[in-house]
Amino acid sequence: MSKLIIAKFGGTSVADFDAMTRCADIVLADENIRVVVVSASSGVTNLLVDITKTTEVQQRYDAYAGIEQITLNVLNRLQQPHSVAAQIELLLGELKALIENGGAVYSSAHKDLIQSFGERLSSVLFTQVLLERGSAALCFDVRRIMRTDSRFGKAEPQIQQLAELAAIHLQPLLVEQRIVTQGFIGADEFEQTTTLGRGGSDYSAALLAEALQAATVQIWTDVVGIFTTDPRLTSDARCIREISFDEAAEMATFGAKVLHPATLLPAMRQNIAVFVGSSREPQAGGTWIAKDVKERPPYRAIALRKAQTLITVKSPAMLHAPGFLTRVFDTLSRHQISVDLVTTSEISVALTLDQGGMTSAFSSNVEPALDELRTFCEVSVEEGLSLVAVIGNHLHSSKGVSGELFSTLERINMRLICHGASKHNLCFLVQDSDGPAVVKQLHQCLFAA
Ligand code: ASP
Ligand code: MG
C-alpha cells in the first residue's frame, strides 16, 4: 500500500518567511511527505486579480509593487537568496511585461496567466526554504501535468491525462527528493495557463493525490480542522476529529469555508484520507475526513450561508396540468441558472439560486429568466435570507429531528425547509438578521455536551 503523503499549504501558511519555516518543519517531520503543493502567499492572488480588473496602468503597478514586496520580504530572509534570486527576478519581470504590454483589457487567457504568478513565486521560495533546512527538494511546474480544458477561470482537470502525465514526469522524481509544486494552476492542451477557480489549491492537491495514488492528502491552513460550526458564531464550536466524506462534502457545499467544495471528489474516488490542520499549531491535531469513520452521530455540524435569494413561482392555472415543473426548470436551465434548494406544491415552486458559482455573467442571467417565468407564472423574490444547514447522519429517518429543531426555533420565522432529500442534511432559510442567533441556539441544543 502506498504511504505517499501530499501536503498542501494554504496562503496564510506560506504568507511570509516565518510561516514558510513552520511548514518546512511539518514537511521535514514526515519522510512520507514527498509532494508539497503551495498556494500563493496570502494576499498575492487578490493583487493579481486587481491587476486583471483595472484598466488603470498606475493601479496595476501599485498591485505589482505589493506582490514584489511580499516576495522580496521572503527572499531577503533566506540564507542564500542568490540561489533563487534569478528565478524570482525572471518571474517578476515576466509579470511586469504583462502589465506593460497589457492593453486596456486582458483576455481571459491573459487573466489566468497573470493569476498564475502567485503560486509560481511561492513555490520557488518554498523550495529554497526546504533546501536550506536540509531536505533535497525540487520545484516542479505543475503545468507539465495538470492538464485541463480551456475554460479559463474555472478550468476542468482532465483526470486521465493528469494520471498519465504524472506517472511519466512526476512519479520518478519522488525517489530522490521532495517535490514542491503549485496549486490552483494548470495548462490546456495548447500549453496555455489555466486556473481551477479561486481557492483551487486544495482541489489541486487532491487531484495530484489521486493521480499519484497517495495514501493521504494533508490540507494545512490557519484553522485547527473543521468545526461543528463557525467558531465566530459561538464559543461552543468544537473541532471535529473525524468525519465521513459524505458529511464533509455537504459541509463544503453548504458554506463551511475550510475546503474548496470539489476537493473531496478525487479523494472519494480513490478512497484517500484527507487531513485538515493548522500549520501554526500542528500539535493541536486536526480533522480526518475518510470513508469509514467510527461514529456516525445524527448531528455533526451546522453551516450558515448568508445572502440567499428565495424565488417563489406560482401558477394557479397549472392546477392539475402536467408539465409545470418541467417548464419552470427548463426556463431556468436555458438561462444557465443553477438551482440550489427546491420545495414544491401542486401549483408553486420555491427555490434558492446557487450563488456559489455566481459570476457577474451569471447574475445578469437572473432577471431575463425571471421575466420569462413571469409570462406564465406569478414570481416573487425575497432577498436577505440565510441558509442554515444541519449536517449529520440518517437525518431523513431519525425520529424527532424536526421536532427538536422546531421546538428550539419556536420564535423564528423559517422559510423553505428541505428535509428528506438527503440523509446528510436538513436545511432551511431564516432572515439574515436571525442567522447567527439561530445557529448559536441550535448548536447549544444539538451539541450540548
Ligand atoms: N491562490 C489561489 C486563491 O487565492 C488559490 C488558493 O489559494 O487556493 O484563490
Ligand atoms: Mg484556500
The pLDDT of residue 360 is 46
- Does residue 222 have a known ligand-binding role? yes
Homologous superfamily of 5-222: Acetylglutamate kinase-like (3.40.1160.10)
| CA of residue 416 to ligand 2 center, whole Å | 31
Please, which pLDDT band fits residue 261 given cuts at 50, 70 and 90?
confident
| CA of residue 10 to ligand 2 center, whole Å | 5
Homologous superfamily of 300-447: VC0802-like (3.30.2130.10)
Please, which pLDDT band fits residue 359 given cuts at 50, 70 and 90?
very low
Q: How many CB atoms lie within 10 A of CB 246?
A: 20
Ligand nearest to the CA of 197: 1
What is the mean pLDDT of the segment spanning 408-423? 79
- Does residue 331 have a known ligand-binding role? no
pTM > 0.85: yes or no? yes
**3-class DSSP state of 380:** strand
CA distances from 409 to 33, 85, 110, 111, 238 (A): 47, 59, 50, 46, 22
Pairing of the two strands 299-314 and 378-392: antiparallel
The pLDDT of residue 319 is 65
Q: Which residues line ligand 1 (CB under 6 A)?
A: 10-11, 39-40, 45, 118, 183-184, 198-201
Pick from 134-143, 302-311, 414-423: least confident? 414-423
With 80 as the cut, is the pLDDT of residue 421 above it? Answer: no
Express as a percent the part of the chain with pLDDT over 70: 96
List the one residue out of 183, 277, 182 whose CA is nearest residue 227: 277
With 60 as the cut, is the pLDDT of residue 357 above it? Answer: no
With 80 as the cut, is the pLDDT of residue 446 above it? Answer: yes
What is the mean pLDDT of the segment spanning 268-289? 97
- Measured from the CA of 40, which atom of ligand 1 is nearest? 1
The pLDDT of residue 414 is 84
Please, which pLDDT band fits residue 192 given cuts at 50, 70 and 90?
very high
**Distance, CA of 212 to CA of 124 (rounded, Å):** 22
Amino acid at 422: S
- Tens digit of each residue's pLDDT (9 = 90 or more) over 208-221: 999 999 999 999 99
The pLDDT of residue 252 is 83
The pLDDT of residue 239 is 95
Best mean pLDDT range from 182-186, 313-317, 425-429: 182-186
> If you take atom 8 of ligand 1, which residue's CA is the nearest one?
199
- Does residue 294 have a known ligand-binding role? no
Question: Is 277 within 8 Å of 217 (Cβ atoms)?
Answer: no
The pLDDT of residue 104 is 81
Mean pLDDT of the chain: 92
CA distances from 117 to 56, 91, 112, 407 (A): 20, 7, 9, 52
The pLDDT of residue 216 is 98
| CA of residue 49 to ligand 1 center, whole Å | 11
- Measured from the CA of 46, which atom of ligand 1 is nearest? 4
Pick from 231-235, 316-320, 391-395: least confident? 316-320
Pocket test for ligand 1, best of 198, 221, 257 (most atoms within 8 A of CB): 198
**3-class DSSP state of 22:** helix
63 alpha carbon, distance to own chain's centre = 24
- Tens digit of each residue's pLDDT (9 = 90 or more) over 91-131: 999 999 999 888 888 999 999 999 999 999 999 999 999 99
What is the mean pLDDT of the segment spanning 337-355? 83
**Distance, CA of 133 to CA of 123 (rounded, Å):** 15
129 alpha carbon, distance to own chain's centre = 26
Q: Which is more confidently placed, 352 or 9?
A: 9
> If you take atom 5 of ligand 1, which residue's CA is the nearest one?
199
- Does residue 232 have a known ligand-binding role? yes
**Distance, CA of 152 to CA of 109 (rounded, Å):** 6
The pLDDT of residue 363 is 67
What is the mean pLDDT of the segment spanning 422-428? 87
What is the mean pLDDT of the segment spanning 169-184? 98
| CA of residue 235 to ligand 2 center, whole Å | 23
The pLDDT of residue 321 is 67
| CA of residue 201 to ligand 1 center, whole Å | 6
Ligand nearest to the CA of 196: 1
- Does residue 53 have a known ligand-binding role? no
Ligand nearest to the CA of 257: 2
| CA of residue 38 to ligand 1 center, whole Å | 9
Ligand nearest to the CA of 41: 1
| CA of residue 199 to ligand 1 center, whole Å | 4
List the one residue out of 27, 49, 45, 28 whose CA is nearest residue 36: 27
The pLDDT of residue 315 is 84
- Measured from the CA of 39, which atom of ligand 1 is nearest? 7
Domain boundaries, the chain: 5-222, 300-447
With 90 as the cut, is the pLDDT of residue 203 above it? Answer: yes
- Does residue 428 have a known ligand-binding role? no
- Does residue 384 have a known ligand-binding role? no
With 50 as the cut, is the pLDDT of residue 149 above it? Answer: yes
